[in-house]
Structure 1
């Protein structure tokens, strides 16, 4: 009995040990991208991008469609050859790192084999790695309890995503790359997914994810990297990126006929039904003018959200990255 308990404890520690192995060489980052340039014909998808991610960080990769996020992920996985620059993953080339089982990936358009059951697919993938995530723990971590006997064709969109996560984790990879991982999940599924990601980070894994759900990035990521036009335009904590946006937002309820043009310091105005939203460079000045003209029911004043900051960054396309954090 003692031997069985010892074996179970050894197996449960495998994911933790795999993450620790990535930190065996002091100072070796999980990901080191230098001067990465990727072209598709005459189109430059990624333009001399530099990015270093230490082990143990949770990093959100943000930007509009076509910004180059998926191309960066594909380069890190060794799925394409860059026109220039270099990518090192835990001190290795991307292909070496993937072969060693050091990288797990959950891609936006990842597929599952048809005419198979979830458990069969998971067993096949786990057998391909020298270090395997213990099955019982993997099932719980990925949230696929009860799905092992289910045919792949019978999975819902959210269940499919969780199975793809299990496959990405099968080799206990120190680095996990996620491309729009919650795109098919409902609110409850997204919440459970990010609880899992926080648990992985606590175990020492490095998590890099691309997403359009900026509220998720704001809540989960230690660090936010914004890419526009294939270039890095912001790199720092969510607070640092938001701090680079000057001004505040004022929202309140107003009758459709209330005149709001000519307000001091206002840089933008939108109406949705009776809700008015103002963007202002000086909230105090704008509020005094509004109060002098009438009441402000349902008043709310807030600083820039991460969505505000990202939209501003990609519209200006600044060449000077904001809030660089290493």
Structure 2
């Protein structure tokens, strides 16, 4: 998938602004951003559901409509597209009949983990089961590129884990996956690469570790009964100090200085230094404060 200087406007609002992005075969890419950042609009242009005002979209060297007609692209969206009076199996049989070549229904039922509800009417399925059915439908054409918009909405924890295990197995066979989600733990656990978008522009692009590193600062955690919160807050580079019983957490731009103070000037023990987590990086790079320092949030657009 290759996007070049992609721009989409709705009246005076620029939903996608000069986006350039390349996704390689076999990658699992998380496409993250706050509501209104341009994620769904970008996915719509890749699917040919919206036309860009400027720039180009190529999917395996083809226009989106041609790639979709060849069954090379499929999508799992949050809502819509299901007939409530059909059974799960009937839905797949009917959809498969629309393709010149389709994977066996029994195979995609098993792939999506819904073989046991094949005879259940769609209207009787839970939200998570309906999402799995959408996943099975997307697999019928055996697509090279799979686009997922909040794919695990409505699934329980076990269902989410099984879903992503199936996605990982498909990616290992060369399928490319790009997904948008509000579950940052999913992006952290399953994505090979994370692309962050804010106000229609890509602000960061890299591995999970690289994205976390873009959010400056670290967290120093230690066991320290009766910690002097004011003294810790006064140390160079300290942003915040949080006390949780006998545990102290210090967010700082100078973790070495804080660690040295704790180990030499206090009775602290069990000291740990960790990078910011993905949620903190997400907020730092896509929140309102990020716009005040855009150079600090610029990532590599591959």
TM over 0.5: yes
Aligned-pair CA distance for 1:201: 0.5
**In the alignment, which residue of structure 1 is the partner of 2:216?**
246
| Offset from partner CA, 1:105-141 (integer Å, 9 cap, x none) | 0012344112221111111111111221122221111
**In the alignment, which residue of structure 1 is the partner of 2:165?**
195
- Check 1:79–1:272 CA distance in 2 against 1; reply closer, same or farther (3 A cut): farther
**In the alignment, which residue of structure 2 is the partner of 1:7?**
none
**In the alignment, which residue of structure 2 is the partner of 1:309?**
281
Q: Distance in 1 between matches of 2:299 and 2:6?
A: 20
The answer to whether the 8 A contact 1:240-1:323 is kept is no
Which structure 2 residue ranges, 5 or more long, are not aligned?
none
Q: Distance in 2 between matches of 1:106 and 1:250?
A: 40
- Check 1:199–1:105 CA distance in 2 against 1; reply closer, same or farther (3 A cut): same
Alignment of 1:49-60 (within 5 A): 49-60=19-30
**In the alignment, which residue of structure 2 is the partner of 1:16?**
none
- Aligned-partner SS, 1:166: helix
* Aligned positions, number: 296
The answer to whether the 8 A contact 2:214-2:297 is kept is no
| Offset from partner CA, 1:66-115 (integer Å, 9 cap, x none) | 11111111111111122211111111111111122111100123441122
2:49 pairs with 1:73: no
Over the residues paired in the alignment, what is the CA RMSD in angstroms? 2.3
2:4 pairs with 1:37: no
Q: Distance in 2 between matches of 1:320 and 1:280?
A: 17
| Offset from partner CA, 1:8-56 (integer Å, 9 cap, x none) | xxxxxxxxxxxxxxxxxxxxxxx11111111122111110111111222
Aligned-pair CA distance for 1:324: 2.3
Q: Distance in 1 between matches of 2:245 and 2:80?
A: 40
- Aligned-partner SS, 1:92: coil
**In the alignment, which residue of structure 2 is the partner of 1:156?**
126
**In the alignment, which residue of structure 1 is the partner of 2:300?**
324
- Check 1:243–1:257 CA distance in 2 against 1; reply closer, same or farther (3 A cut): closer
Q: Distance in 2 between matches of 1:241 and 1:114?
A: 41
The answer to whether the 8 A contact 2:203-2:299 is kept is no
The answer to whether the 8 A contact 1:233-1:319 is kept is no
- Bigger mean CA deviation after superposition, 157-166 or 248-257: 248-257
The answer to whether the 8 A contact 1:235-1:321 is kept is no
Q: Distance in 2 between matches of 1:320 and 1:48?
A: 19
- Aligned-partner SS, 1:196: helix
Q: Distance in 1 between matches of 2:181 and 2:243?
A: 28
Aligned-pair CA distance for 1:290: 3.9
The answer to whether the 8 A contact 1:255-1:274 is kept is yes
The answer to whether the 8 A contact 2:214-2:296 is kept is no
- Check 1:252–1:66 CA distance in 2 against 1; reply closer, same or farther (3 A cut): farther
- Check 1:119–1:301 CA distance in 2 against 1; reply closer, same or farther (3 A cut): same
2:122 pairs with 1:146: no
- Aligned-partner SS, 1:146: helix
2:264 pairs with 1:288: no
Q: Distance in 1 between matches of 2:37 and 2:244?
A: 29
The answer to whether the 8 A contact 1:45-1:68 is kept is yes
Aligned-pair CA distance for 1:293: 6.2
Among 218, 226, 251, the alignment partner of 2:188 is 218
Which structure 1 residue ranges, 5 or more long, are not aligned?
1-30
**In the alignment, which residue of structure 1 is the partner of 2:238?**
266
